[in-house]
Structure 1
Amino acid sequence: MELDDNIQKYQYLASKWLDKTITEEELQAFNSWYNSDLGKEVELSDSSVVSEEQLEQRMLRNINQKINRPREIALWPRIAVAMTFLIFLSIAFYIYQYDKTVQDQYVTTSMTKRVAPGQSGATLILADGRQISLPGKETGALALENGVRISKTADGQLHYEIENDQHQVQGVNILSTSTGETYVVTLPDKSKVWLNAATSIEFAAGFNDPNVRLVKLKGEAYFEVSKDRKRPFIVSSDKQQVVVLGTHFNINTYAGHPYTETTLVEGSVKVTDLATKAFKILKPSEQSRISKGNIEVKKVDVAEMLAWKSGEFALGSEDFETTLQNIERWYNVQFDHEGIPLKDITLDGWISRSSDLTEVLHKIEKGTNIRFEIKGRRIIISR
């Protein structure tokens, strides 16, 4: 009885297959039976066709149209599984790529306003109290103080030139940069100074002291000092004094920096700790660090120490917190990392200081496990 029922069932499915009205579920059942009963014949009922001749024609037409159709049907479930798997992989890959893109672009999408890099600019305070803003495009003479001509060159630098050395210029000049500014000045003795962001130097307008050339520094600056054996060049800051005759060196005396650092490029300098009067003589590629009455000297990569002067961030040259401070000064922003330990974070690589802030933060994100969210001038750090 059960056998008759099965025969009738598959006769019915066979007729539906011939009529192309079979459903997917019925096709799977028919295919399973077909593969297990290839040696058996199936007689179709009279109701399924009008005549035997019509059945032969229909079967011949189907055979001609679909050679090896039974094998194709048998392969269909496997093809369906394979296609499903491929679709699954495609979806998974898309989700992965999308998630990665979202993470890579986290800084950008969270930014409400473009934060541009710093630029050339400074403020000059003359001996008589006048203030001159220097970021403008104007060039030429800016002031004349008792025989000293102060002008701005075509390449945007400040230039001092003594026209009459008979005048004894009284008072001092102060050149200062704010956050997001750098500037270059040529002093009256032809020495050249590059000021980093948030930095100021104070000096006699005429540099006419016969015994010394004195500059007071706050922040960070690079000096190329003209040689004058009769008048030593002295850079004084809160914790140290650097004495040179003619050489190239960099001094970092930022208030938030853990050390007062002097990095020598060429020549020699004498670095004195003002608290203890202890001193060290530096050789090229050496750096002195003064902290809590101690002076230590070590070899350094000069290019990394002077990256700021070359318009770069050397991300691996300082500890991570110092790197963040450098970014803060250049982009005029503030990081909020409350509860996030920073001492275990290390960086590597270089990036241009002309980059937008998002580019710099994106590079840091790719090399660490932290994320940045920009809210105006405030940047929130999270893990």
Structure 2
Amino acid sequence: MGMTKSEHIKNLLQRFIKNTISKSEFEELFGYLHEIDVEEDVKDSMKQHWEKINADLTNDALKPSDNDQLLEAVLEKIDLKKSPEKSSAITTKHIYKRYAIAATITLFFGIGMGYLYYTNFINSNSKSAPEIPAEVITLQLDNGDVKIISDKESEQIVNAKGLVVGTRTGNSIAYTNNISEEKLAYNTLTVPYGKRFQVVLSDGTKVHLNAGTSLRYPIKFLNGLNREVFLDGEAYFDVVKDAKHPFLVNAKDLNIKVLGTRFNITSYPENEMINTILVEGAVEVFEKDKDTEAPLVLKPGYKASWHKQHKNINVEKVNIEQYVAWMNGRLILNEVPFEAIQKKLQRQYNVTFINNNEALKSRKFTGRFDIESIDQVMKSLSISASFNYVLNNNQIIIN
């Protein structure tokens, strides 16, 4: 079986306390905390602490002991215990203070202010750390360290214990199954705009990551547990069959469960839909935390589209090539609105748009582009729709 909801929250909480959580994971965690039905005595305690927290937020004068009771109260409400582990970079008392303040802000004022505080905290406490360029592929290790994936011919990937868990060769990382792990330890691979990457998981499953994608996965899958990964972006999965250990992809509000198959998932934060396209085999699609209900079983050649706002799934037969062409650097369009094309081009070519042509947004295009430059693509589109554009470095201005 996979992680329960409380176990998943605990995992997110531990990553936040150790300052190894990603933006999407942070938002997910605080979404859970925001749903907590906090009892009146806890609310009163939080209200009493709020004025002191708010007053001392800028001068760092708040006593750590003032927040211990508040932290414990919040943790007890979700049946979690404090992690005995300590971060080497931040002392336990300051971790508790940071968590208590963020939890208070979120529970009283919502995720917006909570994330604002978190952003300010990270910015103010990471000035001494080397800045990681936005255009590089990164790998967050199980100890929280972030490694830049270089252009070297090959290199070894190690875990927190210093043991070799995988090897990077070219644009691919392959993990070994020949290591002893007693508990799940995760790596997070992040691919920026303009690049693609492949990871071979410890069971042999191949995952192709599109531009603007992040995948969190165990260094090694453990016996008796589902093979579970977390996707933010777009990826093509070629899953190795293992009937005893189903493969589960968490894509925000949607889960996709398989035994062994090939499928593509698009789950970008800015998109209204989460799309699952089945190439081969069979998959089960169901809303997050509702795996006990009857799932939707998807057939090859069909697409399941989950609407994030309306919370419903639509199924239709599609041309598979159109949805997997990105793996080979191709772009296939079939009556696609320019607004959606613009998002694809931003990710694939790492460009930004300033579109001054409102009518163009809804204009639909059909065509095929085989590994062409962004200028070649834009020329074809502009001829088809009779618009002018200027390409300056990585910015495209449409008039």
Q: Is TM-score (shorter-chain normalized) higher than 0.5?
A: yes
User: 1 CA distance for matches of 2:265 and 2:350?
Assistant: 21
- Counterpart of 1:335, as a letter, is F
The match for 2:266 among 236, 252, 260 is: 252
State how many pairs are aligned.
Answer: 260
Q: In structure 2, do the counterparts of structure 1 residues 347 and 275 end up closer, same or farther at CA, with 3 Å as the change threshold?
A: farther
Which 4+ runs in 1 deviate beyond 4 A? Answer: 144-148, 275-278
Tell me if 1:363 matches 2:380.
yes
CA root-mean-square deviation: 2.2
- Counterpart of 1:287, as a letter, is K
Shift of 1:376: 3.5
Residue number in structure 1 paired with 2:158: 143
Residue number in structure 1 paired with 2:302: 286
Shift of 1:275: 8.3
Q: Is the 8 A contact 2:184 2:222 kept in 1?
A: no
TM-score (norm 2): 0.61
State the Cα deviation string for residues 81-102 of structure 1 (Å, max 9, x = none): xxxxxxxxxxxxxxxxxxxxxx
State the Cα deviation string for residues 143-183 of structure 1 (Å, max 9, x = none): 25566521112x43101002233x32553110110111110
TM-score (norm 1): 0.64
State percent identity of aligned pairs. 31
Shift of 1:134: 1.7
Q: Is the 8 A contact 1:121 1:183 kept in 2?
A: no
Shift of 1:258: 2.3
- Counterpart of 1:127, as a letter, is D
Shift of 1:339: 5.0
Residue number in structure 2 paired with 1:184: 198
State the Cα deviation string for residues 182-219 of structure 1 (Å, max 9, x = none): 10010001000000001011112111252200000000
Residue number in structure 2 paired with 1:332: 350
Q: Is the 8 A contact 2:337 2:362 kept in 1?
A: no
State the Cα deviation string for residues 283-304 of structure 1 (Å, max 9, x = none): 0000001111111100000001
Relative contact order (C-alpha < 8 Å, sep 6+): which is higher?
Answer: 1
User: 1 CA distance for matches of 2:189 and 2:370?
Assistant: 25
User: 2 CA distance for matches of 1:274 and 1:206?
Assistant: 23
Task: Give the match's secondary structure for 2:334.
Answer: coil
Shift of 1:329: 1.1
Structure 1: which 5+ residue stretches go unaligned?
A: 1-119
Q: Is the 8 A contact 1:241 1:274 kept in 2?
A: yes
Q: Is the 8 A contact 1:282 1:288 kept in 2?
A: yes
Q: In structure 2, do the counterparts of structure 1 residues 295 and 259 end up closer, same or farther at CA, with 3 Å as the change threshold?
A: same
Q: Is the 8 A contact 2:188 2:217 kept in 1?
A: yes
User: 2 CA distance for matches of 1:144 and 1:288?
Assistant: 36
The match for 1:162 among 177, 180, 190 is: 177
- Counterpart of 2:157, as a letter, is L
Task: Give the match's secondary structure for 1:181.
Answer: coil
Residue number in structure 2 paired with 1:32: none
The match for 1:319 among 317, 337, 344 is: 337
User: 2 CA distance for matches of 1:213 and 1:171?
Assistant: 13
Give matches, 1:7-18, under 5 Å.
none
Tell me if 1:349 matches 2:367.
yes
Q: Is the 8 A contact 2:175 2:202 kept in 1?
A: yes
Task: Give the match's secondary structure for 2:363.
Answer: coil
Shift of 1:366: 2.0
Tell me if 1:224 matches 2:224.
no
State the Cα deviation string for residues 300-330 of structure 1 (Å, max 9, x = none): 0000111111210113363321111010112
Compare CA radii of gyration and give the structure with the larger one. 1
Q: In structure 2, do the counterparts of structure 1 residues 200 and 317 end up closer, same or farther at CA, with 3 Å as the change threshold?
A: farther
State the Cα deviation string for residues 41-69 of structure 1 (Å, max 9, x = none): xxxxxxxxxxxxxxxxxxxxxxxxxxxxx
Give matches, 1:1-383, under 5 Å.
122-144=137-159, 149-153=165-169, 155-165=170-180, 167-274=181-288, 279-291=295-307, 292-316=310-334, 318-338=336-356, 340-353=358-371, 355-382=372-399
State the Cα deviation string for residues 113-170 of structure 1 (Å, max 9, x = none): xxxxxxx9621111012222224123142325566521112x43101002233x3255
Task: Give the match's secondary structure for 2:322.
Answer: helix
Q: In structure 2, do the counterparts of structure 1 residues 352 and 137 end up closer, same or farther at CA, with 3 Å as the change threshold?
A: farther
Q: Is the 8 A contact 2:233 2:267 kept in 1?
A: yes
Structure 2: which 5+ residue stretches go unaligned?
A: 1-134
Task: Give the match's secondary structure for 2:358.
Answer: coil
Residue number in structure 1 paired with 2:125: none
